[in-house]
Structure 1
Amino acid sequence: MTTVVQPARPAHPTRPEHPVRAPHEDVRDVWSRLAAESGAVARAEELLAALPDPVARTAGQQADLAAAMDAARALRARFLDTYADAVHDRLTEGRTVALRIDELLEAAARELPGLVPDDARLASERSRVQAGKEGHEIDQGIFLRAVLRSPAAGAHLLDAMLRPTPRALALLDEFTRSGVVEMESVRLERHRDGVARLTMCRDDCLNAEDSRQVDDMETAVDLALLDPAVRVGLLRGGEMTHPRYRGRRVFSAGINLKSLSSGDIPLVGFLLRRELGYLHKLVRGLRTDHPGQWHTPFVEKPWVAAVDGFAIGGGTQILLVCDHVIAASDAYVSLPAAKEGIIPGVANFRFTRYVGPRIARQVILEGRRIRASEPDARLLVDEVVEPEEMDAAVERSLARLDGDAVLANRRMLNLAEEPPDAFRAYMAEFALQQALRIYGQDVIDKVGRFGAAHQGPPGDDAAYARG
């Protein structure tokens, strides 16, 4: 049974809220001194080393560990409330080095031991199912919340996440030459019409997302944005081999619950990377700092999404960052957050903008599906057409979005609708709250039951659980 404790704040009104630093004291020395004086981190480590695995602990052992981990997390939170900027500056050499979230956390683990889990601890966690983990990712959430809260450090981190990935840069020559890149879960093709057609092709599991697909999606989005011959992007699901949908296109079944149950949905590599990586790049574009682009540091392009079958969870989240959405008349969208027990990414930030507060609560809190045939669907999609008319509707939409004025206006619309500072503030709280949610006992119970019920081939995935 995993222990999950929300970082606490001191209850006594006269107790100092923040640690005090002597003039010119190095931030690493501050953390070392505070950790030594408190002893909270050391006590939690000693208990973790002495206790059996989470599933074998007694209630008393759980309570003792919960208290110790709570004290250690409260210390980390108070320290970072004061020193997030100083820590970030040390790790990024005064914001001169762009570190992605995983790189930033690795640097923090090296430079400030005990502040966030190190590689060895994370590797041990990765070998366990979700119910058997200790919840060390919560400490990553505490760290990233503090960094993202800062206008200086947070903006620098967001910029780092908007840069092209090394994998995309390595594949760029091949893609610009051939116009095709085949990955495990995504196929990217550039046609002569200047359209980059990104096809999600996890045909065995209805495009249910895992870490592999997030990596492939970010790589494909980077390539489409980097290639100067691409003017418009299309996101669509491919034809499935899944027995229930064989030969039919499906957009996305959302998060792969089997992977979550087995412990293979990491906070940083999946839940945060997809929001700060390819989804944010669909909105803002790529940060390139090309000297010829003096007017903007970003390369961006309009995107069309075509929904066949359904867009569940993360699939619906993709629609919220696209410029034009077409849905087949027999399709539906949903955000089953309450059923899964987690937060549906940035949908809580974006969804109300489209449908209003009442429908947003019905969909996110109560699990309502919106079918393309309902009038409310027109709040989320631009066109609803018969399945056999999807291809023609897609081509018309791509032609309409191919224009220089479209780029300038989408940029201004996105700035007005989703100011970068507002997005940063949301992501700061999301980093911690989602970390707490994936270790919530209700989530562990739900995905555990799902994992036990679906021990068959990979095709028995999230879509089965959602009907």
Structure 2
Amino acid sequence: MTSTHAPDTASAWPTHSPEFIGDLEGDAAALAEYAATCEALLSQLPPKQDRDASQQSLADAVFGASRDARRSFLARHTEAVYDALTAGRSRYLRLPELVHAAADRFPGLVPTRAQMESEYARIQAERDGREMDQGIFCGAVLHSRAAGTHLIEAMLLPTPRSLELLDEFRAAGRVELASLLVERHGSAAHVTFRNAHCLNAEDNQLIADMETAVDLVLLDDQVRVGLLRGGEVDHPRYEGRRVFSAGINLKDLRNGAISFVEFLMGRELGYINKMFRGLLVNPSGHMWSDRATQKPWIGAVDAFAIGGGMQLLLVMDRVITEEGAYFSLPAAEEGIVPGLGNLRLTRLTGARHARQVILGGRRVRMTDPEARLLCDDIVPAPDMEEAIELAIRELSAPAVAANRRMLNLAEEPLDQFREYMAEFAVTQVVRAYSDDVLAKVERRWQRSRSKEGGLK
């Protein structure tokens, strides 16, 4: 039976944190024992939503101490742990597989599947934030040049789902996924968001579908250019109109349906990085040009590109917008980090303007002079199709792919990306569980329920 009071810390709390000496197996055993003691103490507490102040204070102390132990362990053993999980970097594990393997091989290092299933059954505010332990692990792996580079390459490989659908796409030139549509028209593949119920906002399903779509575009030899555009939505204000993207689905974030590994890390290391760096099709090759296939991408923005939608435009080779559109990265309002926007926006617009957008919430309208730093063509809505076709013809030129690869190499070297992602892994997951973020998404959810008559 769960206790209704905080346990006696004098008898339950470990006398000291483990002292790691540099021996992997011995230190792993010490960590496992310490983590088990911490978990035994936590198991005596009620669920988070039922704890009183003293119980929550104890839980915070236990989680904090166990996380310090994990950081200390990883400071000594990150590369050895990664090599143990990947057979000396001879196996490529995608991030979800890597995290699960770490839980099995090194007990106490990251949450178990059962612990995460228990977390996923609750809304974000009622969780203990075990994803933060996953963030500590991911950050440590990415901080290591050897392990981090190998993980990045693992995430650039085609997914099993895309390989299963490849023959169908090559034959039919069309694949319909749950939240988007991929169609080949001539030399271009049109990827269209179809999350109509939420203004094409990003959720776990869309992230998974986008990676499949990007893989198909990059694997199909008949495709020379990828086009990303929002489909028509059913929101009363925009009904029947195309909308590019409303960014992260904040309702899903509040309800605990935005995962750290699959969404927050997966989109950056997965499909967006594939758009930017290409798809790894020959891991044993020497030069990157021999190992990966890359193609130029066009972003066509109708109505607006908010948050994650705007982040996508920062890796596009051509951005076309209708005259009335606007961009924004409302990081200050949402309270989370806008993906790689902090890294990529500055080099396009300059540091001062980037701070106005990210820290101050400034919207970029197509009538603003700075809009020209973020897009190539601003056209009346009726002229969007013509502008898109012209861009496809121009970017289909044979030398485009090679030159965009060299531009991207100069603008964002792999080590710069890896080091940013190492910090992002820890910072973003902490922000996702911060009190101010939880309060903001709850207020927005309550307002939404009020508007919808409490039906959702």
TM-score of the pair, normalised by structure 1: 0.91
Pairing 1:442-457 to 2, within 5 Å after superposition? 442-455=436-449
Count matched residues: 438
- Does the 8 Å CA contact 2:300/2:388 hold for their aligned counterparts? yes
Q: Is 1:30 aligned with 2:27?
A: yes
Q: What is residue 233 of structure 1 aligned with on the other side?
A: 226
Of 62, 66, 81 in structure 1, the residue corresponding to residue 60 of structure 2 is 66
What per-residue deviation string (whole Å, max 9, x for no partner) do you get for residues 159-205 of structure 1? 000000010000000000000000111100011x2100001111121
Structure 1 residue 386, shift from structure 2 partner:
1.1
Pairing 1:66-105 to 2, within 5 Å after superposition? 66-105=60-99
Pairing 1:343-362 to 2, within 5 Å after superposition? 343-362=337-356
Q: 1:216 aligns to what SS in structure 2?
A: helix
Q: 1:122 aligns to what SS in structure 2?
A: helix
What is the alpha-carbon distance in structure 2 between the residues aligned to residue 132 and residue 334 of structure 1?
30
Q: What is residue 199 of structure 2 aligned with on the other side?
A: 206
- Does the 8 Å CA contact 1:372/1:384 hold for their aligned counterparts? yes
Q: Is 1:433 aligned with 2:420?
A: no
- Does the 8 Å CA contact 1:207/1:250 hold for their aligned counterparts? yes
Q: What is residue 172 of structure 1 aligned with on the other side?
A: 166
Q: What is residue 268 of structure 1 aligned with on the other side?
A: 261
What per-residue deviation string (whole Å, max 9, x for no partner) do you get for residues 96-145 of structure 1? 00001100000000000111001111111111001111100000000011
Q: Which amino acid aligns with 2:20?
A: P
What per-residue deviation string (whole Å, max 9, x for no partner) do you get for residues 328-386 of structure 1? 11000000011111000111111101111111111111111110111111111111111
Q: What is residue 212 of structure 2 aligned with on the other side?
A: 219
What is the alpha-carbon distance in structure 2 between the residues aligned to residue 28 and residue 20 of structure 1?
10
What per-residue deviation string (whole Å, max 9, x for no partner) do you get for residues 52-88 of structure 1? 1212211111111111111110010011011100000
Q: 1:51 aligns to what SS in structure 2?
A: coil
- Does the 8 Å CA contact 1:204/1:240 hold for their aligned counterparts? yes
Of 141, 151, 161 in structure 2, the residue corresponding to residue 147 of structure 1 is 141
For residues 105 and 28 of structure 1, do their structure 2 counterparts lie closer, same or farther at Cα, with a shift above 3 Å needed? farther
Pairing 1:238-257 to 2, within 5 Å after superposition? 238-257=231-250
Q: Which amino acid aligns with 2:279?
A: L
What is the alpha-carbon distance in structure 2 between the residues aligned to residue 101 and residue 18 of structure 1?
29
What per-residue deviation string (whole Å, max 9, x for no partner) do you get for residues 419-459 of structure 1? 00000000001001111011001111111111222237999
Q: What is residue 319 of structure 1 aligned with on the other side?
A: 313
- Does the 8 Å CA contact 1:329/1:387 hold for their aligned counterparts? yes
Q: Is 1:49 aligned with 2:43?
A: yes
For residues 194 and 290 of structure 1, do their structure 2 counterparts lie closer, same or farther at Cα, with a shift above 3 Å needed? farther
Q: Is 1:278 aligned with 2:271?
A: yes
For residues 406 and 135 of structure 1, do their structure 2 counterparts lie closer, same or farther at Cα, with a shift above 3 Å needed? same
For residues 272 and 34 of structure 1, do their structure 2 counterparts lie closer, same or farther at Cα, with a shift above 3 Å needed? closer
What is the alpha-carbon distance in structure 1 between the residues aligned to residue 446 and residue 453 of structure 2?
15
What is the alpha-carbon distance in structure 1 between the residues aligned to residue 285 and residue 51 of structure 2?
61
- Does the 8 Å CA contact 2:42/2:62 hold for their aligned counterparts? no
What is the alpha-carbon distance in structure 1 between the residues aligned to residue 20 and residue 420 of structure 2?
26
Q: 1:454 aligns to what SS in structure 2?
A: helix
Q: 1:384 aligns to what SS in structure 2?
A: strand
- Does the 8 Å CA contact 1:309/1:330 hold for their aligned counterparts? yes
For residues 101 and 458 of structure 1, do their structure 2 counterparts lie closer, same or farther at Cα, with a shift above 3 Å needed? farther
What is the alpha-carbon distance in structure 1 between the residues aligned to residue 391 and residue 216 of structure 2?
21
Q: 1:433 aligns to what SS in structure 2?
A: helix
What is the alpha-carbon distance in structure 2 between the residues aligned to residue 230 and residue 290 of structure 1?
22
Q: List alignment gaps of at least 5 residues for structure 2.
A: 1-15
What is the alpha-carbon distance in structure 2 between the residues aligned to residue 63 and residue 215 of structure 1?
37
Task: Report % sequence identity.
Answer: 53
What is the alpha-carbon distance in structure 1 between the residues aligned to residue 255 and residue 450 of structure 2?
14
For residues 70 and 16 of structure 1, do their structure 2 counterparts lie closer, same or farther at Cα, with a shift above 3 Å needed? closer
Q: 1:45 aligns to what SS in structure 2?
A: helix
CA RMSD of aligned residues (A): 2.0
Q: Is 1:197 aligned with 2:190?
A: yes
- Does the 8 Å CA contact 1:18/1:82 hold for their aligned counterparts? no
Higher relative contact order (CA 8 A, sep 6+): 1
Deviates more, 1:142-151 or 1:41-50: 41-50
What per-residue deviation string (whole Å, max 9, x for no partner) do you get for residues 202-251 of structure 1? 11211010000000111000000000110001000111122211111100
- Does the 8 Å CA contact 1:28/1:111 hold for their aligned counterparts? no
- Does the 8 Å CA contact 1:189/1:197 hold for their aligned counterparts? yes
- Does the 8 Å CA contact 2:277/2:405 hold for their aligned counterparts? yes
- Does the 8 Å CA contact 1:130/1:262 hold for their aligned counterparts? yes
Q: Is 1:19 aligned with 2:16?
A: no
- Does the 8 Å CA contact 1:204/1:458 hold for their aligned counterparts? no
What is the alpha-carbon distance in structure 2 between the residues aligned to residue 447 and residue 353 of structure 1?
31
Structure 1 residue 254, shift from structure 2 partner:
0.3
Q: What is residue 386 of structure 1 aligned with on the other side?
A: 380
Q: What is residue 111 of structure 2 aligned with on the other side?
A: 117
Q: Which amino acid aligns with 1:20?
A: I
TM-score of the pair, normalised by structure 2: 0.93
What is the alpha-carbon distance in structure 1 between the residues aligned to residue 453 and residue 336 of structure 2?
23
- Does the 8 Å CA contact 2:31/2:108 hold for their aligned counterparts? no
For residues 296 and 241 of structure 1, do their structure 2 counterparts lie closer, same or farther at Cα, with a shift above 3 Å needed? same
Deviates more, 1:383-392 or 1:298-307: 383-392
Q: What is residue 3 of structure 2 aligned with on the other side?
A: none
Q: What is residue 13 of structure 2 aligned with on the other side?
A: none
- Does the 8 Å CA contact 2:18/2:30 hold for their aligned counterparts? no
Q: Which amino acid aligns with 2:234?
A: T
Q: What is residue 4 of structure 2 aligned with on the other side?
A: none
